[in-house]
Structure 1
Amino acid sequence: MAEAQLEDFSSLFSLKGKVAVITGGSRGLGLSAASAILQSGASLVFISSRKAAACESAVATLNALPNLSPGAKAISVPADCATQAGVTHLVEQVKKHTDHVDILLANAGATWGEYIDTHSDSAFSKVMDLNVKGVFNLIRDFVPLMSKNASVETPSKVIITASVAGLGIGTLGKQGTYGYSASKAAVIHLGRNLAVELGPRHISVNSICPGFFPSKMSNGLLEMSGGHDAFAKANPMRRLGRPEDIAGAIVYLCSRASNHVNGADFAIDGGAMWARGQLDSKL
């Protein structure tokens, strides 16, 4: 039967020869994603973050991975994507190495935790500038490179790193992340708008919404909110996120397997967001 005939199934999740740009790629979820993309066959992966030393360290780690495709490499491009000048610099540096980009992971992000009474305008603006305006500027300015080789059969892929805080309620109280939660809700909806706008240009736009993954950004909040073990115990899967959880979602969204997925948001939190609602209902 025709339904059982899957076209070239062995390459469904392959990223062979792909060119990727990853902001916030020097650590945390961005570095996990970069590792997954390279190990899935990508030929070039550009790693960007504000700090040059962090980018260089990440690139050295990635290029030392044992199972990369021949000639594959990661390249460091430090840039501050909270500013238009930083985005422009990143695009221009990428153009020195390639005339097209297949995958853009808008992963750079910032947060700020503070009581509502003392939550400053400057802190709120800092988070929104990087998490929303920076993502919009990044995608807009990379559209020409992403359109270059894109087609109906081989669309280019934009993945936005959002958060479950943008799907539900984030952290409140003394570490209230009001700007972060608002920014992630905004960027998820930005992604939906861009999915419809860019789909006809053969560029898909999807968002991932991670829950708690141990990282430099989240570890402090985890400890102040009860600790790693408490959060793991409360999760329906009885653990927090691991690098492989992000890797699997990223490879799927970057590969041919997701060619008809556009405008979606994927919660990667073990079901914790829904469990929280269940616990609250019992109070």
Structure 2
Amino acid sequence: MRYEGLFNLEGKVALVVGAAGGLAGETCTGLAAFGATLAVADMSAGGLAQVTGMLKYRGIASWAQNVDVSDEASVSSLFDDLHRKLGRIDIMINFAGLAAPLHVEEIDAREFQKIVGVNLLGSFLLAKHSLQYMVPQGSGKIILLGSVQGQIGRPFSSHYSATKGGVHSMVRTLAVEVAKKNVQVNAVAPVFTLTPMSAPVVEDPEARERIVSTIPMGRLGVPEDLVGAMIFLSSRASDFITGQTLMVDGGCTIS
């Protein structure tokens, strides 16, 4: 048996949603490095232009469209247009999400519903519409973004943690529903990961040490940590793995 092609993504169409974030952009670059054809989507027109420009600068072509993941009509149009343009959808990775550190007393129903609409409902709608194309074609990979905060308690994040715990549960149920259709559904749950966007949070040495002290490996995550997990779950190497939440956290959730 030969193993050289386990991570080969040539001929695969990968849709990355919430693509304007730093980790999403690096994931796009990683997928392209292994041969995937890229489609990117984001609610922000400016953010979408920025990520497509970055990819073009790196020599990577991409198809792009705006989407509001909390609106089913918008999600449906995204998948219909993508399938019409590229003919198939093999991989769907969702990075779209909201986070707003708030004490429980500061979270009203509107704030709670807003974060649920993007983080949880959005994940569901993207998975649902991915399956409408992946099941008939007989294969597919769905990867949703979880969080260590969906697994362990952290202050000022009850609404956010609820959505991520919901994502972790949802991948298990979806995975069982489509297991015999050769579609794998998983989540990746990162700890704090250092990007240009997140770097200001840890500029203060004390703030950095507080975060690092919760990670047994003694360092912050870097983009390569998450990108490697995404490529693995997108590839043939993970064909017998489904319904799992892969904790990319340096041991944070087991300490």
Among 14, 24, 27, the alignment partner of 1:30 is 24
Change (3 A) 1:224 1:83: farther
User: SS at 1:22's partner residue?
Assistant: strand
- Alpha-carbon shift at residue 79 of structure 1 (Å): 0.9
Q: Whole-Å Cα distance in 2 between the matches of residues 234 and 186 of structure 1?
A: 23
Among 102, 107, 120, the alignment partner of 2:95 is 107
- Alpha-carbon shift at residue 233 of structure 1 (Å): 4.8
The answer (yes or no) to whether the contact 1:101–1:146 under 8 Å persists in 2 is yes
Tell me what 1:9 maps to: 3
One-letter amino acid matched to 1:131? N
Q: Unmatched 5+ residue regions in structure 1?
A: 1-5, 276-283
The higher radius of gyration belongs to 1
Q: Whole-Å Cα distance in 1 between the matches of residues 198 and 231 of structure 2?
A: 23
One-letter amino acid matched to 2:232? Y
Tell me what 2:220 maps to: 240
User: SS at 1:227's partner residue?
Assistant: helix
Tell me what 1:178 maps to: 158
Among 51, 56, 71, the alignment partner of 2:49 is 56
**Could you state the TM-score of these two structures normalised by the residue count of structure 1?**
0.84
Q: Whole-Å Cα distance in 2 between the matches of residues 75 and 99 of structure 1?
A: 12
- Alpha-carbon shift at residue 167 of structure 1 (Å): 1.0
**Could you state the TM-score of these two structures normalised by the residue count of structure 2?**
0.92
The answer (yes or no) to whether the contact 1:99–1:145 under 8 Å persists in 2 is no
One-letter amino acid matched to 1:121? A
Q: Whole-Å Cα distance in 1 between the matches of residues 227 and 68 of structure 2?
A: 24
Among 270, 277, 282, the alignment partner of 2:250 is 270
Tell me what 2:189 maps to: 209
**What pairs with 1:1-283 in structure 2 (closer than 5 Å)?**
6=1, 8-42=2-36, 44-66=37-59, 73-150=61-138, 155-170=139-154, 172=155, 176-215=156-195, 226-275=206-255
Q: Whole-Å Cα distance in 1 between the matches of residues 197 and 134 of structure 2?
A: 30
Q: Whole-Å Cα distance in 1 between the matches of residues 113 and 197 of structure 2?
A: 18
- Alpha-carbon shift at residue 245 of structure 1 (Å): 0.5
